[in-house]
Amino acid sequence: MIIQAAQRLDNIQEYYFSRKNKELAALNASRKEQGLEAVINLGVGAPDMMPPATAIEALVEESQRCDVHKYQSYRGIPELREAFARWYSQWYSVQLDPNTQIQPLVGSKEGILLLCMAFLNAGDKVLVPDPGYPTYSSAASLVQAEIIRYDILAENSFYPDFDALESMDLSGVKMMWVNYPNMPTGAPASIQLYERLVDFGQRHGILICNDNPYSFVLNDKPLSIMSVPGAFDSCVELNSLSKAHNMSGWRIGMVCASAEIIETVLKVKSQMDSGMFRPLQMAAIQALGQDKEWYVHMNQVYSERKEVALRIMEKLGAEVHPGAQGLFVWGRLREDNALIAGYRTHLGLGERMSDFLLYEKGVFITPGMVFGHNWNDYIRISLCADKAVLEKVLKML
């Protein structure tokens, strides 16, 4: 390049799944030349079912109007903010002011970087779960904050160890990322957990950022941290239509928080885009209006898929933590795993199993090391594949 990249990128790699998608594309091209089927991708949590029909109809109908193709409000149209407020009231029992406490986003992933840019200075500290969504760390690194990892371990049901947190040097910590139902472990949310997080944030002056896109998946009692008294003093919550409404490619999310936090986030967001396409917003309103039957049907499908995924994990010799929610099955491999005995022994168990399945069986699953430093023995299977595809994988094994 004619100039050097910014120093803030020194510790940043291209997102794992972006790199892996390139590898899978090249591998699929080679397999096609050999007359082989494409790799079965059980790695990424991108829902494969259809979005609500009413959302698609609204998108088509609104797109044909001549007055919707211009810039939109940075705040999102009032009707969308009101729809998010009704959604939170109906399903989470949280009352939000649509005028001051909700900001629509281009997917909740955008919100992770926006919050980091809005509240973290260079050298500020941020608590990041291990294992956890890699974007929490990369977004903090992009604003040159210091990442402090905290373990969520199987022996603690993949919840934070508050005794360990309290014993840490928390000076300079401004933000803490949490995510329940958890990705990748599937640990469910609970009011007791949220109460402890709110208390922890208030006592230590730490902004608790709850990333909550999986709350409807394999769960009939969605929870929000914002339902805890005092949460608006110390918390923000991200949410999304990607998982619960099968709209990951539509990029529609939101952040809810106190009016002061929303205004601060808007200072950054208004420099980055010019509002969401109005027909997308109108479609989102329809999606948010789905009744209970929508979620029941979705979870029936995922429940059937999960049964097969658990059998795949059993075939792979992986132990699965019970009671998991969300779009994934998370399992631990043992050192004496016969399937990968002698295979690429320089790698961790999870990466060995991932490579074995990819290159020997034509199936991609995610190695646990993607999500943190302590997870070399783990693998993750996505439920975003048809039951018949999962059964095919099971037969292959």
Burial of 127 (C-beta count, 10 Å sphere; 0-12/13-18/19+): buried
> Which residue, 250, 271, 290, sits at the end of a domain?
290
> What is the per-residue pLDDT for 15?
84
Share of the chain above pLDDT 90, in %: 93
Residue 123 — very low, low, confident or very high, per pLDDT cuts 50/70/90? very high
Residue 130 — very low, low, confident or very high, per pLDDT cuts 50/70/90? very high
Residue 204 has a CB neighbour count (10 Å cut-off) of 18
| 259: containing domain | 67-290
> Per-residue pLDDT tens for 192-240?
999 999 999 999 999 999 999 999 999 999 999 999 999 999 999 999 9
Residue 17 — very low, low, confident or very high, per pLDDT cuts 50/70/90? confident
Three-state secondary-structure class, residue 328: strand
CATH of the domain at 83: 3.40.640.10
- Residue-averaged pLDDT of the chain: 96
> Per-residue pLDDT tens for 171-190?
999 999 999 999 999 999 99
Position 54 in a domain = no
- 265 and 311 both lie in a single domain: no
- 369 and 315 both lie in a single domain: yes
- 267 and 310 both lie in a single domain: no
> Residue 159 corresponds to which amino acid?
Y
> Which residue, 243, 268, 290, sits at the end of a domain?
290
Residue 11 — very low, low, confident or very high, per pLDDT cuts 50/70/90? confident
The kind and range of the H/E element at 175 are strand 173-178
Please choose, from the candidates 193, 172, 171, the residue with its C-alpha nearest in 3D space to the C-alpha of residue 182: 193
- 190 and 311 both lie in a single domain: no
Three-state secondary-structure class, residue 67: coil
> Which residue, 290, 311, 338, sits at the end of a domain?
290
Q: Which structure tokens are listed for 246?
A: 């099968």
Say yes or no to pLDDT of 97 above 90: yes
Say how many domains are in the chain.
2
Q: Which of 13-27, 44-58, 97-111 has the lowest mean pLDDT?
A: 13-27
Average the pLDDT over 23-35 and give the result.
Answer: 92
Position 56 in a domain = no
> What is the per-residue pLDDT for 322?
82
> What is the per-residue pLDDT for 12?
83
Whole-prediction pTM: 0.95
Strand partners, 150: 129
Give 7-64 as a DSSP string: GGGTT----HHHHHHHHHHHHHHHHHHTTPPPPEE-SS----SPPPHHHHHHHHHHHT
CA-CA distance, 121 to 362, in Å (whole number)? 44
CA angle (213 as vertex; 211, 215 as ends), nearest 5: 105
Average the pLDDT over 74-78 and give the result.
Answer: 97
- 252 and 136 both lie in a single domain: yes
Burial of 156 (C-beta count, 10 Å sphere; 0-12/13-18/19+): middle
> Per-residue pLDDT tens for 308-325?
999 999 999 999 988 899
> Residue 359 corresponds to which amino acid?
Y
Three-state secondary-structure class, residue 41: strand
- 215 and 278 both lie in a single domain: yes
- 178 and 308 both lie in a single domain: no
- 34 and 106 both lie in a single domain: no
CA-CA distance, 98 to 79, in Å (whole number)? 9
- 166 and 22 both lie in a single domain: no
- 19 and 134 both lie in a single domain: no
Q: Which structure tokens are listed for 397?
A: 């094994």
Position 181 in a domain = yes
* Cα-Cα-Cα-Cα dihedral sign, residues 253, 258, 263, 265: negative
